[in-house]
Structure 1
């Protein structure tokens, strides 16, 4: 399978480098559009409306119309709207599986650990399985912010962007190592999940990506060049896992006292 997104999943201070794979496939007959008169195929062309000439993909950009002019957006502009969410699937809380209706599951994506994230991946998988909880996360993919739910399917993490069984691909093709985690690490992960668990409320999550993108458009319209902020995610090493879990618990306790 070919990955469609590379980045990381984080919960607390634990970071897991991962790859996303499409977990479903369309079961639809492929039909071509034809001219009724001679059954010739209908082709679509990208045409410059001023010159009437066809335009190559490399010469096509996206723009936002402001008054009578276009503000052209480059690939980095979309990333700058929220660089962190463009690279990190940040679990913000956990909810019980029973609280979420299946109808919310729009499209599943399988999650595979990248190098350095094996143990953190195994820990989150095991903790979610035993707690019967789902992680609630937001991230940006293909220039759109998504609200998602992270759970487990056949021992693999699966991200649902909130179908028939034969549309679900077999996750056994993923390279998921059989990594062991200790009872102490697992108990700590359960404590962290309990600290982040709350009743699922849709109103707690807002799509802020579009607002940030509009701010970039407004800045470009004024001649300001947006600054690109680098976001780096360091994989949590197996030897650092307990320390990160403890620090995450302390951080959550402090934030609760502050609120």
Structure 2
């Protein structure tokens, strides 16, 4: 793996030099856009909107529009905006793992100690493991300040970039129903949830969509037609809710006995 960020973690007066690695991979298939007439690839060009001429990547800079002019920024400007946060992941507080909502998580990054940081790395790792807490930290990467949580995963420190509060939309804008449900229905639903509760097995879940998509691609490349299975979900009518809950419980019980 190649590190994507080098710097240090600090908690209290302890500083740990680290390297950061992406902890996940994008499983999405790379599909090219084609002209449907001759299947030639569609390519994007970086074009100067005044001259219409293509601009080389090395000649492209970033700018902030102010009134009718642009303020051009270079790499040093981004670093200078907050030099400390461009080099340091500052843990500012600790929280209980249970307090974190999944909606906050964006992407995990693995952290590896650099030279002379091994002992302090293990110190933070063991302390987090034994307390069951996460470190809340901020740092700058790619010209953006990031809020993050630092914990332990498979004996390594892992940093989760999370969203700031103002990046999460207010669910109050959703059209949520106010339909009443009875206590009996809720109790039945709780029983169903308990029946389906198991110890989470991370390895059990596989990305099968890409596999299926690849099968279609291979079939098309050999001139074969693929069978399309139609599926359309239908809402369970309110009057059938209890019956469906009972049927679900019975189905689960039979499945458990069979296994």
What is the TM-score normalised by the length of structure 2? 0.62
- Match of residue 102 from structure 2: 102
Per-residue deviation, 1:145:
0.7
DSSP-derived class of the 2:124 partner: helix
- Match of residue 214 from structure 2: none
DSSP-derived class of the 2:31 partner: coil
- Match of residue 44 from structure 1: 44
Question: In 1, distance between residues paired with 2:70 and 2:101?
Answer: 42
Question: In 1, distance between residues paired with 2:36 and 2:80?
Answer: 47
DSSP-derived class of the 1:106 partner: strand
- The size of the alignment, in residue pairs, is 167
- Match of residue 11 from structure 2: 11
How is 1:171-190 mapped onto 2 (pairs within 5 angstroms)? none
CA RMSD, Structure 1 to Structure 2 (Å):
1.7
Question: In 2, distance between residues paired with 1:137 and 1:19?
Answer: 16
1:32 paired with 2:32, answer yes
1:152 paired with 2:118, answer no
- Match of residue 74 from structure 2: 74
Per-residue deviation, 1:28:
1.4
- Which aligned runs of 4 or more in structure 1 are off by greater than 2 angstroms? 164-168
Per-residue deviation, 1:103:
2.8
- Match of residue 87 from structure 1: 87
Per-residue deviation, 1:108:
0.2
Question: In 2, distance between residues paired with 1:63 and 1:103?
Answer: 32
- Match of residue 197 from structure 2: none
DSSP-derived class of the 1:124 partner: helix
- Match of residue 247 from structure 2: none
| Structure 2: stretches of 5+ with no match in the other structure | 163-200, 207-259
Who wins on radius of gyration, i.e. which is larger?
Answer: 2
| Structure 1: stretches of 5+ with no match in the other structure | 169-259
Higher relative contact order (CA 8 A, sep 6+): 1
Per-residue deviation, 1:165:
4.8
1:189-219 Cα deviation digits (max 9, x unpaired)? xxxxxxxxxxxxxxxxxxxxxxxxxxxxxxx
- Match of residue 203 from structure 1: none
- Match of residue 194 from structure 2: none
Per-residue deviation, 1:150:
0.1
Question: In 1, distance between residues paired with 2:106 and 2:202?
Answer: 14
DSSP-derived class of the 1:127 partner: helix
- Match of residue 130 from structure 1: 130
- Match of residue 115 from structure 1: 115
Question: In 2, distance between residues paired with 1:165 and 1:54?
Answer: 47
Are residues 165 and 141 of structure 1, via their aligned partners in 2, closer, same or farther at CA, if it must alter by over 3 Å? Answer: farther
